Amino acid sequence: MSAQDLSSAAAPAPAEEEADYNFAYLDENTKRMIRRALLKAVAIPGYQTPFASREMPMPYGWGTGGVQVTSACLTESDSLKVIDQGADDTTNAVSIRKFFERTARVATTTRTEEATIIQTRHRIPETPLTENQILVYQVPIPEPLRFLEPRETETRKMHALEEYGLMHVKLYEDIARHGHIATAYAYPVQVGRRYVMDPSPIPKFDNPKLSNCPALQLFGAGREQRIYAVPPYTEAISLDFEDHPFDPGGVDQPCALCGATGVYLDEVITDDQGTRMYVCSDTDHCEKTRADAEAAQ
Amino acid sequence: MIGAPLFKLSGLTKLYGARVGCRHASLEVRAGEVLAVVGESGSGKSTLLSCASGQMLPTSGGVLHGATSPDGRTVWRDIYQDLSEPERRKLLRSEWAYVHQDARDGLRMSVSAGGNIGERMMAAGARRYGAIRREAEAWLARVEIPTDRLDDRPTAFSGGMRQRLQIARALATGPKLVFMDEPTGGLDVSVQARLLDLVRRLVAEYDLAVIIVTHDLAVARLLAHRMVVMKQGRIVESGLTDQILDDPLHPYSQLLVSSILQT
């Protein structure tokens, strides 16, 4: 089998059978239902809007919520980027990108600045987003109070009455046990000075990017049937104590591949002697930095 | 010191369908006063306490919270009729507190002792970790738990310690009225005695009003200034503790008092 054959096997040309699907897989009534939930979510920043989540052709936990939101937002002129832990080339990202290539035939890209819709799992791209972009998050558990208060009736009431003392109990426990706030991902934020929200399992390093972002940020939780949003230029403050302020953390060294600083780095263990290197988690940003450096030489 | 009136039940009735939980119960509690509600199992004590403490809507009758206005008058407001739900929940976690019979119902078992005590403070808006921790430590000492247990979870505590921790958690934001449902139930006698001592000391020190439900007349005699006796959902007798225990008038009270082993 030649290289040509391999690539065509990996991405078959749109065949007759795909024409049986509606644009972007979901039928128009379902998309309308999701869009109504999205409008409500945008109108009440940080509020978890229930929606009738559909079975998707992928297991729960693989981004069914994010895919439904993306499906409801996609138009034919959109350019889609999908990332998983910052990378464009991991299983989850590749399969979701292919899914929409086949069912919506939209253009896809790995370049952050070219994309109009970015579906993401666990990261916000390093390249600053613009007003023309939508960032769609895949959310496993949308309820930030869940691990301390298992009753859904009670957590809803707590949100409604703005009783968020419990969130600080969690942070208190962190400090009491570890000496600092050890929550490193899914770090709770208060959106628009009202609702406390789980920003999905992004590293707390990305939390400052949530706040006052020019792009529209949408969060979809498929299994839990919730959609919520941070509209453009909305404040999202990370919760903390006065004497233990929020610290985004991060590694204090440059990327081993591109030399970028001030970006989120993955720790890669390279042998069994404890040797490790730190590389950009955002593959697109890493490639761009290297290409820019080469062009400058 | 007995002070201004804080709390009142007027004609409280709770029906479970055709069955009677409690009927036409009326009582009043003043600041610094301990009122015991005694009676046998099924007499409506727990129903009365649930309705009174804001956890269950009564069928009819009023549960009134008294606040002293600037000119010294007492303003009565029904917690179910006159307060909105946010206001009622705020009252329940600031001016009122509840101590459960089983400490597991009143504590967060997966959260450290310090976090348990600090929760009400954080709910009230405390945002300085150091201050919350110091306050929690002080409360631990007040309820006679070694302060090095501050970061231990209640699962590692004995039954008596859990109960004392629950009391610390309830009192941490300085409530004026505390509801207690059989706080000594399920503890052995020596631990009971120590807990009662502690409660009596805290009540005097913080000028607390307490409504305590118990079937143990010894608890009532030790703690309560006044008591009411319940039978089949009704209050059959009320008065000063000594008066009822030494000279019960109602036949049921007489039976209750005579059923204590005399030493």
Q: What is the pLDDT of residue B68?
A: 82
Q: What is the pLDDT of residue B261?
A: 62
> Mean pLDDT highest for which of A237-246, B71-80, B85-94, B251-260?
A237-246
Please check whether residue B111 touches A, CB under 8 A. yes
For B144-185, write each residue's pLDDT tens digit.
999 999 999 999 999 999 999 999 999 998 999 999 999 988
Query: Which residues of A are known to be catalytic?
Result: 46, 255, 258, 280, 286
ipTM of predicted complex: 0.85
Q: What is the pLDDT of residue A4?
A: 46
For the CA atoms of chain B, what is the radius of gyration?
Answer: 18
Minimal Cα–Cα distance from B197 to chain A, Å? 30
* Phi, psi at B70, each rounded to 5°: -55, -30
Chain B residues with CB under 8 Å of A241 CB are 127-129
Q: What is the pLDDT of residue B109?
A: 92
Q: In whole angstroms, how far apart are CA A123 and each of A127, A201, A213, B73, B133?
A: 12, 8, 14, 59, 34
Contact across the interface for B114 and A176, Cβ inside 8 Å: yes
Chain B residues with CB under 8 Å of A165 CB are 119-120, 122-124
Q: Which amino acid is at A75?
A: T
| DSSP of B133-166 | HHHHHHHHHHTT--GGGTTS-GGGS-HHHHHHHH
For B195-215, write each residue's pLDDT tens digit.
899 999 999 999 999 999 998
Q: CB burial class (10 A; 0-12, 13-18, 19+) of residue B69?
A: exposed
Q: Show the low-confidence residues of chain A (pLDDT under 50).
A: 1-12
Is the pLDDT at B63 greater than 90, yes or no?
Answer: yes
Q: What is the pLDDT of residue B218?
A: 86
Of B111, B124, B130, Cβ closest to residue A173: B111
Exposed e or buried b per residue across A234-252, where buried means at least 16 C-beta atoms within 10 angstroms of its C-beta: bebbbbbbeebebeeeeee
Contact across the interface for B119 and A165, Cβ inside 8 Å: yes
Mean pLDDT of B32-45: 91
Q: Is the dihedral of CA B98, B99, B105, B106 positive or negative?
A: positive
- Residue A160: CB partners within 8 Å, gap ≥ 6? none
Question: Which has the closest alpha carbon to B257: B223, B212, B227?
Answer: B227
**Among residues 113-172 of chain B, which lie with CB inside 8 Å of chain A?**
114-115, 118-120, 122-124, 127-130, 132-133, 150-151
What whole-number distance in Å separates Cα of residue B136 and Cα of residue A176? 12
% of chain A surpassing 70 pLDDT: 94
Chain A residues with CB under 8 Å of B150 CB are 176
Chain A residues with CB under 8 Å of B130 CB are 243
